[in-house]
Structure 1
């Protein structure tokens, strides 16, 4: 009479065999051709206003304003309601639209003077990635984004210095700029 193998031995053997087959297929696939993904960007007419971000290499991305400084910096255009993150070589790595407050900074050179992870804004909205860079009319001027990702409500006559960003742009700005990072404000 032949001895029967216990069920755990069968399961162990089958699992080992399946693992070996998967490893063999993975090694074989690694030596074959690799697909490449192409990134398709949505048209700027709908997506730029809906999402605010436009990659700097996209044909629709506005050029970095002239006379916006040199070196690594944040460039904020009052007229275009747009921010550029500029690397040390002078190339914009990201650009996006913003919602300015009712009080804005004068054109000029500033730097990030304080950062706060999150707080309640003067308009009562919970915000994050708060980066202060100047004062105007007795109001602190800072970049921030709403925790819930919403756009700011109308000011109703309040003096507000927040330059609000889309949530993903707020995270990118927070990662890019630290205390003393240069901020250039242009018309």
Structure 2
């Protein structure tokens, strides 16, 4: 076990600093254990249990991940980056309903990664200090660009801003998680209803 003095790996877009081998092992083990714990019990899984299962002290966990959001950000960073890249690629395609549907469906699938994640990401919309808020800013930026382009093309009503759109999507995902056990078929149906409701009158 390391003594926790090594720097934590940076967020995407920041300069990397080398990490000692023992600290790197602790970091990777904590992420692997947290991934399993969150998959089993949702994002409110006990961090003390994560540290115990990773065979490190709780202080070591907090030195690597000062908050639960910091741990979630590290687990979800690749998914955020993938959604950002997908959004940018979709912006190069001709604008139609299928483009916005494609990105939004992928976003909703990401929200379903861990039970409780939908509520956590909704809360970050209003909390600019959250690690999750900073990490998913680029992802939300591509979603906003897709929404604006759909509005300019007459596919979506113009009185809905990006925050309201994300709130609708988050709400549908949460409702599907709570009422239909995350059914993909039900999620597709609900998303279609939302997009129909957003069509210009």
Structure with greater strand percent: 1
TM-score bracket for this pair, using the shorter chain length: under 0.3
Structure with greater helix percent: 2
Query: Highest CA radius of gyration, 1 or 2?
Result: 1
**TM-score of the superposed pair, with normalisation by structure 2:** 0.26
